[in-house]
Structure 1
Amino acid sequence: MTTTLITGANRSLGLETVRRLVDAGHTVYAGMRDPASGDEARALGAHVVQLDVTDQDSIDAAIATIPALDVLVNNAGILGTSFGVDDLDAAAMSAVLDTNVTGIVRVTQAALPLLRVSDNPVIVNVASGVGFARWLTTPGHDEYPVPAVPYAASKAAVIALTVQYAKNLPEFRINVSDPGYTATEFNGFGGHQTITEGTDATVALAMVGPDGPTGEFHNRDGRIEY
């Protein structure tokens, strides 16, 4: 049986990913900062573990409760408090990068010993089209009007770090997903996609086999060319 750890799994895209992978037969560990918020994940059949991607001790303790690991879904992320330039400062930038980028590195590095002994180690990093420069500069794309600096920069970094991890770990399948503009609490439920549509790419990439893609960026329509 495939064992999967999902960060930021108590709500929204993370919780829907939990639901779909449990339904697909995975043993799912649902990582979240506050386990008291994990009732929905428990009801789906997931094992809830306390995991804060900004706290290395929390990460190490969570990994220690998992006996084996095949799939890591780095889903946890924050939007931040800066949405333009006038409200931007170094602290706002650092907070977003610490969760959205450094948090992925913390969890991934801690999980590597377990993943290395899997027959089919898979990592999926959840990014966003907002981190894709071509779409940020193309009128008509959902991403084009977004002015926020920290969130866009963090998701661009997630795309790049995914490529670099894939190059360093060729025996793994390591990819990055774009949920698309999905109706979630993150955007005040303003997105035009359903929560299920928003997890299509992440779920598909979490289920790839040893001959599947690696180092690629996908949305629900398939591969996005860099």
Structure 2
Amino acid sequence: MEHGNRTALVTGGARGLGTEICRQLAHRGLRVLVAARKREAAEEVCRGIGPAAVPLALDVTSAASVAEAVREALGRFGTIDVLVNNAGLSVDASRTALELDEDTLRTTLDTNLVGAWRLAEAVVPGMARGGYGRVVNVTSSYGSLALMDSGRRPAYRISKTALNALTRMLAAELAGTGVLVNAADPGWTRSGMGGSAAPRGPEEGADTPVWLATLPEGDGTTGGLFAERKPLPW
């Protein structure tokens, strides 16, 4: 099946890296659901991308919002074939592991981990029934146990480590179903989170997530962590 018959849902699609992922997926012929907390922000992005992009109001921290958004998408298009869990936040840049308050930890986990989990629970069973799916969890090398060398950004690091574990669990659970689940590290990218000093533009940062989101049928790449299309250690 050509990409043009596929529908992708990208969370955090209304700015920065998420917008570029949406743009590149649309360029490859997918119908793209640009998901954002405010529909108006998603609509603005869609106007810039063109008719292949469709706005979707979705707050990953709300189970009710996730359920309603997925119902809307499935009611309109029938399937969601690609899920890019891109929505994320980092609000603990100045903290260490011994300085972190519990509220910051909970807030970070609810978006970066639980939000992605909510979307997977809502979307992936339909992928498995259809025999095709691509799930990309946008993560960071900050979450790699093998590469971890600092206690800075503790909530962010822990959330991405946990997201990496979820990636592995889902990949194992879905083995043989046609659903591939991988994690992508976009690198330090200029965006609302990465800031203007980051060395990589959104176009570069989006490349690996888009590559994993469009792996061809017959490709068995699953359960991996990738940066610049190359494996990273967990």
| TM-score between both structures, scaled by the size of structure 2 | 0.88
| SS class of match (2:193) | helix
Q: 2:164 aligns with which of 159, 163, 176?
A: 159
Q: Are the aligned partners of 1:82 and 1:150 in contact in 2 as well (CA < 8 Å)?
A: no
SS in 2 for 1:185: coil
The more displaced of 119-128 and 86-95 is 86-95
1:34-183 mapped onto 2 (5 Å cutoff): 34-38=38-42, 39-45=44-50, 46-66=53-73, 67-81=78-92, 83-85=94-96, 87-137=99-149, 147-170=152-175, 171=177, 172-183=179-190
Distance in 2, Cα, partners of 1:159 & 1:133: 10
Equivalent of 1:21 in 14, 19, 25: 25
Counterpart position of 1:211: 218
Question: 1:114 is matched by which residue type in structure 2?
Answer: G
Equivalent residues in 2 for 1:195-206 (5 A)? 195-206=202-213
* 2:154 partner amino acid: V
Q: 5+ unaligned residues in a row in structure 2: which ranges? A: none
Other structure's SS at 2:55 match: strand
Deviation >6 Å, runs of 4+: none
Task: Please tell me the residue identity of whatever aligns with 1:151.
Answer: Y
User: Matches of 1:26 and 1:147 in 2, distance apart?
Assistant: 38
SS at match of 1:214: coil
Q: Structure 1: any 5+ residue segments left out of the alignment? A: 138-143
Contact 2:138 2:185 survives alignment (8 Å): yes
Residue 147 of structure 1: how far off its partner (Å):
1.1
Identity score, percent: 31
- Other-structure match for 1:140: none
- How far residue 148 of structure 1 moved from its aligned partner, in angstroms, is 0.9
Q: Which amino acid aligns with 2:203?
A: T
Aligned-partner residue type, residue 192 of structure 2:
E
Q: Give the whole-Å Cα distance in 1 for the aligned partners of 2:33 and 2:162.
A: 26
RMSD over aligned Cα atoms: 1.6
**1:177-192 superposed matches below 5 A:** 177-192=184-199
Greater mean alpha carbon deviation, residues 76-85 or residues 90-99: 76-85
Deviation at 1:68, TM superposition (A): 1.0
Is contact 1:42–1:48 with CA below 8 Å preserved after alignment?
A: no
User: Alpha-carbon deviation of 1:188?
Assistant: 2.0
